[in-house]
Structure 1
Amino acid sequence: MLAIYWVTTVVFFAYLLVFRRCFDFLSVYTIFLVLFSLPVLFGVVFDPYLRVFNNYTDDGFVFLYYIPYFLALVAIFAKDILSRRRQPVASGVGLQDEVLLFLCMIFSIVGFLMYLHTYLSVSSKSEFVNSIGIVSVVYTVIIPFFAIYSFLAKKRIYFAVFLFITFLMFLMGSRRAFAIFFVALFLAAYCGHRFRLRLLFKVSLAMIFLLLIVILGKSFYSYIYAYGMAGVTIWFDALSLDQVLVGAEFMATSAIAHSVYINDYSLDFDVLLLSLYNILPVPTPEGGGASIFNDHFQPDLFPGIRYGMAYNPWAEAYSIGRYVGVFLYSVGIISVLLLCEYGFIRSASAFWKATYLILGVYFLVWVHRNSLGSQLAYIRNFIYPIISFSVFAGLFLLYMRSFRAGCKNAQND
């Protein structure tokens, strides 16, 4: 089974590197799928207690990972064969876009200055997040969105401001905003255009370099919180493989799936239904929260782990529906990605193109370390703030037009 996994992986990357094709959401999703299954490819599983890798020999566990991978490859090849070439529609920019970008830039700058003193006075990321509350959620979501929005709208000043804030957010501990922005920027620039990946050698190296920054960022900013700028030197002196493993969640999440598989761990279908509550604007108490899967498996399978572990979608799907659950979950993710890509390519609005793009990035990158509940919570935290900002900008624009018309009528009278 492992040999088949290796052969198809080699074929997939050869296909990307050699043939001239449109780079798309599914390609990036599959690359991250391979990334998060690297331990499985090498026949090892991470031990979160001893922080070492142990060998395994069970083909059934490999098959658990191979189902989403095989379906992704089938979807890519079928899409390349059956679909017509579609160039992205040019982004349209109207007055409401200008108002929305301007208002969000003002909000972002003022909000950042208001909470800068909080960041300088705390000693950990969790303390900082608790201090600023919902602002942390909103910032993490809207800043990469409006950075991509301004990029698609070709508004360089806004783009520079949001890019600068994204970088500052990374230094303050938000790896998610940093990673989402750069993956979305790559897709915004190249999705729908035909090229050979090997012709973008410099871009590929840049993406690998950014991945390393994200991986090492987790340990880096913990030193910054604890020691200030002196933490940079201390971090370099303490740099080790263990720090890489701390930040490389894709190396550790396979431990969850492996434990679920070998222990034949199962959950009721109600867990899946309760997870759906997390898409609501204000989740009800009956929903069980975004961490409902973690609340079940970690006390049962990893009782000695005191920190919150990341999730594994295939472990959750397997625990609820075994291989059929993994199959259905995979089909659902691929379907969402195809819809998001279609919306991104066909939409003429910069706002909607950015919306489809960021939604797609959440499903092609972050889904690999999420459960259904946490994934829907991320989507909820993205959709509702963006809708709120858009409605506010539209109402503000209507007010300004009404005010201007009233002034004009008063002058005529």
Structure 2
Amino acid sequence: MSFAILIIALLCLFLTNRKFGTFSFPFAGACSFLIYSVPAILGLSAEFYYSGQTKYFVSAQAGATGIVLLAWCGFALVVIAYKQLAYRQCEPLLSNNNYSDQMKIATVLSFLGLGYLIVTGGLFFFTNARDEQLNDFATLLWRWFVLIGFAAAIVENNRRYQVAMLFLIAIIFLRGDRTIPAIAGALYVVLYFRFFGEAGGFFKKISRPKFIISVILLSTTIFIGKPIYLSVKEGDISILRYALADDPLSNIVMAAEPFGTFNHISSVMNLNIDINFFDFISSILANLTIVPSFFGLNTNLYNETITSAIPYSLSYGIAGNYWAHAWAVGGYLGVILFSLIYPISLIFCDRYLVDKNGRVRLSLAVIGALTAIYVHRNGLDNFLSFVRQICVAAFIVYVIHIISRARNSNYGYLRL
């Protein structure tokens, strides 16, 4: 099965590159899916462990590998069925300063958010432990204001605003959040090269210095980002040295997230975790509310279910797994359904980016990057909570834009 996964994955990489382009969300999604499929291909899994216990690899269960294979089959089915497309670049709509306004508004909101965190947590709030930091709804929205501003700055090709947003992304990273920098890296690769990159073959595209630097920074964030920000928080460079000491490749591989998230599939199967369908629907629909917790609704049902089912106490987060959630909800049928939803979402975001010119274009680009990079380490319910936060942040930017336009002109109809 491992060889079959590799063959289908390479086929999907070829087809997504051919149909949508190298710098597209479907291709980025196929690349990240392949990275998170490495444990299944190698036949290795990293089991959940007690605090202080040495982390080790075990042989992957055939059932877990089979689920990944089924997921790739669903992904391939959608990509093969989709019509052939000719690669073309995006052309930003600049006539009404749409992206310039979004960029400025999101930047102001981002720095207001930074001020809020400094006031509530001190000037060096980002050096506090993650469980000691403020994580209210305003702080959650702050992260997405930063990414929306960054996306607008890329499309506007405004270097000053890009640097300002990168400064805030660096602070978010030092707080202990590797997700936002990873999404920012994917955003930059897709948006910059989609709007301003030159045409050419695959190898010509990936040999560009900006692309290589982006990939190196993105890989560094994913694989050794944690020891980097922990070294900064503790003021102790030995944490990073330890991660790279002796056998750095072995240490990095052992700590790599895909091996831990892959273990979710085996755990769900071994623990016979079965999420009631109506509870699942409730956790999904709860994301239609702005603040689900205010109404007593749960959008993290999968993670809470598997954490409570593990027969020993854990002192660390275990993230999630999109395919394990699918299995817990609907078995093989659930995996098939989730495997169709994933590429269709990527294609929708990519097509909107290329074919449309409205203001939701950038927020959908952020959602596309989020889907490509982040969905594999989450249950669908928790993943949609991030989509909800992006939508709320984008709506706030949009409303402020309407108000500012109304105060300065008779600008009425706003094209979506």
Give the TM-score normalised by structure 1.
0.85
Change in CA separation of 1:138 and 1:213 when aligned onto 2, cut-off 3 Å:
same
**What are the equivalent positions in structure 2 for 1:56-135 lying under 5 Å apart?**
56=60, 58=62, 60-79=63-82, 82-85=83-86, 87-93=88-94, 94-95=96-97, 97-116=99-118, 118=122, 120=124, 123-130=128-135, 133-135=136-138
- In 1, Cα distance between equivalents of 2:160 and 2:124: 27
* 1:53 aligned onto 2:52: no
Partner of 1:407: none
* 1:293 aligned onto 2:302: yes
- In 1, Cα distance between equivalents of 2:100 and 2:15: 41
Change in CA separation of 1:35 and 1:395 when aligned onto 2, cut-off 3 Å:
same
* 1:373 aligned onto 2:395: no
Partner of 2:30: 30
- In 1, Cα distance between equivalents of 2:175 and 2:275: 37
Change in CA separation of 1:195 and 1:336 when aligned onto 2, cut-off 3 Å:
same
**What are the equivalent positions in structure 2 for 1:7-406 lying under 5 Å apart?**
7-12=7-12, 22-23=21-22, 24-49=24-49, 50-56=54-60, 58=62, 60-79=63-82, 82-85=83-86, 87-93=88-94, 94-95=96-97, 97-116=99-118, 118=122, 120=124, 123-130=128-135, 133-191=136-194, 195-199=200-204, 200-201=206-207, 202=209, 203-204=211-212, 206-227=214-235, 231-237=236-242, 239=244, 244=252, 248-276=256-284, 277-283=286-292, 288-349=297-358, 351-401=359-409
Supply the RMSD in Å over aligned alpha carbons.
2.8
Change in CA separation of 1:156 and 1:379 when aligned onto 2, cut-off 3 Å:
same
Secondary structure at the counterpart of residue 129 of structure 1: coil
Shift of 1:198: 2.3
| Richer in helix (by share) | 1
| Higher mean C-alpha deviation, range 359-368 or range 262-271 | 262-271
| Higher mean C-alpha deviation, range 334-343 or range 234-243 | 234-243
Shift of 1:182: 1.1
Secondary structure at the counterpart of residue 273 of structure 2: coil
Give the structure with higher Rg (CA). Answer: 1
Residues 340 and 356, structure 1, Cα contact 8 Å, conserved in 2: yes
Give the percent of matched residue pairs that are identical in Structure 1 and Structure 2.
17
Shift of 1:283: 1.2
- In 2, Cα distance between equivalents of 1:287 and 1:67: 35
Give the TM-score normalised by structure 2.
0.84
Structure 2 unpaired stretches of 5+? 411-416
Residues 227 and 243, structure 2, Cα contact 8 Å, conserved in 1: no
Residues 20 and 196, structure 1, Cα contact 8 Å, conserved in 2: no
